[in-house]
Amino acid sequence: MTKCVFLDRDGVINRDRVDYAYDLQHFEMLPGVIEALLKLKQAGFLLVIVTNQSGIAKGIYKRHDMEACHQYMHAQTHHVIDKVYYAPHHPSVSESLTRKPDSLMFEKAIARFDIDTKKSWMIGDKERDITPAYNLGIPSILISPDPKDTKALFVVKDLAEAADRIFQKST
């Protein structure tokens, strides 16, 4: 079985924007992300992004805009991300079990890559990222400057610190 780090995109990999991160001019990788991803990959983790992209359903941007951002992200991260799952839905327009806090994106990855949920992690910046992992028995880490009640095992400031926590727990 495979060990995996599931990652939310906006707020974990790139800077989250109130008006969505879909334009390459505004798609800003966060500091330390590339190094953290490389370390996780070198430690043998599969890297899978699970991201809600509701701006597609709302008509704010198109899939090709998101895909251009993903191509840029892959290039910047030296292609260490193994798979990106995204939910283009929004409850006001269309319902879907893929959209977090539901767990279908996770379940698809678990089945496709034979992922061991006990040796895997989820890193997100919102509780809706943590909930599906918690429900599937995947330990999680919340990136947040102001943690409230959370099901996450750890609350950290960024992806680099999250990776350090994973390494501490894995040894």
Positions annotated as catalytic residues are: 8, 10
d(CA 105, CA 97): 8
* Rg for the chain, CA atoms, rounded: 15
Q: Determine whether 96 is exposed, middle or buried from the number of CB atoms within 10 Å of its CB (0-12, 13-18, 19+).
A: middle
Q: Which helix (H) or strand (E) holds 123?
A: strand 121-124
4 beta partners: 46
